[in-house]
């Protein structure tokens, strides 16, 4: 009987060890350089947070996308963002992110309010972008952290969502999640182009001989 008890305890121990997350494998920093795969347009699929009070900020957003592109300045990335709010109003704008190793520093100015963010990127699924965003107060204190998973299309496989949840657990985020929608804001830069072209056409008169 004693031998059977020992075997049972060993089996339970092995099961517990197998269920523990391998955070070293799950959370690998993504090195940011000139060949970084983070460039392009990304749609927010899911997010989490580490402080209960941060949930209300995300609750105001119906959908969100960002576009990252290199700039002429070494170590600086241009970030264009667009958020559709719950009242069906769109906010969008441009910010510059200063990159250093595996960290980015971004300042957003939205409706006269300035916020400071420190970002970290981690390895994730193909056509995905995993970003940890730390919001900083003007005095340098930390307000809290978000973990965002963006995809090229806004879609995500169930297995990839499970991986995200495990990564969030490894990074000490709360087991609560925000899911972004697919009703995205139009790009103001694109909608402005036809108007500009029409205006140029109207002001250009044909020459006569």
Rg (CA), the chain: 22
Cβ contact 80:67 at 8 Å: yes
Beta bridge partners of 77: 70, 97
User: Is the entire prediction scored with pTM above 0.85?
Assistant: no
Structure tokens, 48: 């989490």
- Looking at domain 36-183, what is its CATH homologous superfamily? Calycin beta-barrel core domain (2.40.128.20)
**DSSP-based three-state secondary structure for 6:** helix
pLDDT tens, residue by residue, 71-119: 888 778 889 999 999 999 999 999 888 877 667 777 666 555 667 888 8
Closest CA to 131 of 40, 17, 42: 42
pLDDT tens, residue by residue, 41-56: 999 999 999 999 899 9
Indicate the pLDDT class of residue 170, thresholds 50, 70 and 90: very high
Pairwise CA distance, residues 63 & 144, whole Å? 21
Beta strands in 53-141 (DSSP E): 61-70, 76-85, 90-100, 103-110, 113-122, 128-136
């Amino acid at each position: 009987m004693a031998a059977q008890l020992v075997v049972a305890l060993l089996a339970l121990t092995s099961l517990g060890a197998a269920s523990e997350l391998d955070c070293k494998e799950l959370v690998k920093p993504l090195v940011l350089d000139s060949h970084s795969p983070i460039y392009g347009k990304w749609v927010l699929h899911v997010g989490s947070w580490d402080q209960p009070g941060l949930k209300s900020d995300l609750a105001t957003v119906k959908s969100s996308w960002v576009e990252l592109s290199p700039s002429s300045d070494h170590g600086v990335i241009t970030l264009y963002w667009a958020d559709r709010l719950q009242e069906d109003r769109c906010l969008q704008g441009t910010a510059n992110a200063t990159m250093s190793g595996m960290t980015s520093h971004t300042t957003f100015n939205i409706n006269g309010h300035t916020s400071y963010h420190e970002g970290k990127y981690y390895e994730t699924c193909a056509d995905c972008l995993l970003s940890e965003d730390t919001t900083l107060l003007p005095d340098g204190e930390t307000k809290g952290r978000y973990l965002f998973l963006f995809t090229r299309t806004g879609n995500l496989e169930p297995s990839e969502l499970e991986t995200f949840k495990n990564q969030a657990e490894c990074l000490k985020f709360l087991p609560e999640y925000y899911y972004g929608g697919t009703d995205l804001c139009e790009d103001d830069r694109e909608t402005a182009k036809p108007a500009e072209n029409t205006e140029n056409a109207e002001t250009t008169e044909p020459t006569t001989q």
